[in-house]
Amino acid sequence: MGRPRYVHSVLSTLELAVAQHRTGRRWMLAGLLVGGLGGVLAGLPASWIAGQLAQASGGRLLLAEARGTVWNGDAVLVLTGGSGSRDAAALPGRLHWTLRPDWQGLRLALRQDCCTPGELPLRLSPGWGGASLTIETRGTAPTPLGTWPVAALGGLGAPFNTLGLDGQLGLSAQDVRLQWVQGRLRIEGRLLAELRETRARAALLPTLGNYQFTLQGAPGGGDTALLQVRTLGDAPLRVEADGQWSGGRLRLRGQASPAAGQESALANLLSLIGRRQGSSALISIG
């Protein structure tokens, strides 16, 4: 004998209520997990991102005296020679950052008290087996990123600490995108660096000249980027070199030559730059 209709109706109502209760519990648990994760991420201190940067750079880039959170903080940017090195140099002022998520990834704005004309707009995008960093620039000409003291490079150790360089380092970028894929760095676009009013502790001259470094990434973000070093205008020391950045390694070959009458004033510096060939020095890195 079958159940009366009202019994079926009551049972169906109870089953529906149980199913809704279970579904509600699942959504509640999911909400708690997402909310808890969001709370953890929102409260991550700036020291966390300092640790990540130190690890990713092999200890060469440090955020000292970090304050605030991952999303809005500031710190003193320090360049070092890496693990075990005694060389270190801090940039003047503090580095400020804001980090915001959007549908394309994370928007990062950086401002260095001493050096940037304003906030540098960057974009971090996660990907399969890596991530990418895009410098958001506009127009067809390279966009200035700021000017930094060359002396700070001495913190990176050799050869900068040996040469004792000083002056101003101007950076600009055009369509630059850095990709980390399976532990390898790939470069798209063009990065320009200009050394202005360059001086060196080992040279008996007030200035050496102005120099331009051009790093041209491979189309499509290939593994090899080309590096070119050229002297801008007349200079007591002329430097010409070509090389490439591939697989995380730099290879550079070229020559540094004194202008006529400057041989003795630059003799010590040229000996530090590379193997002597007559009055010139051969540049050989990597």
The per-residue b/e assignment along 48-58, b for 16 or more CB within 10 angstroms, e otherwise, is ebbeebbeeee
Is 282 exposed, middle or buried (CB count within 10 Å of its CB: 0-12, 13-18, 19+)?
middle
Q: Are 213 and 175 in contact (CB under 8 A)?
A: no
Distance CA 224, CA 208 (A): 30
What pLDDT shows up at residue 187? 87
- The pLDDT averaged over each successive group of 10 residues in the chain (286 residues) is 46 48 48 42 82 85 94 95 87 95 88 93 82 82 92 88 92 89 81 95 94 88 86 96 86 96 95 94 93
Please, which residues bridge with residue 23 across strands?
none
Distance CA 81, CA 272 (A): 19
Q: Judge if pTM exceeds 0.85.
A: no
Alpha-carbon distances, residue 11 vs 19, 29, 46 (angstroms): 12, 27, 56
Q: How far is CA 171 from the centre of its chain?
A: 12
Q: What is the pLDDT of residues 235-265, one digit of tens each?
A: 999 999 999 988 778 899 999 999 999 999 9
Among residues 64, 83, 85, which one has the least CA distance to residue 74? Answer: 64
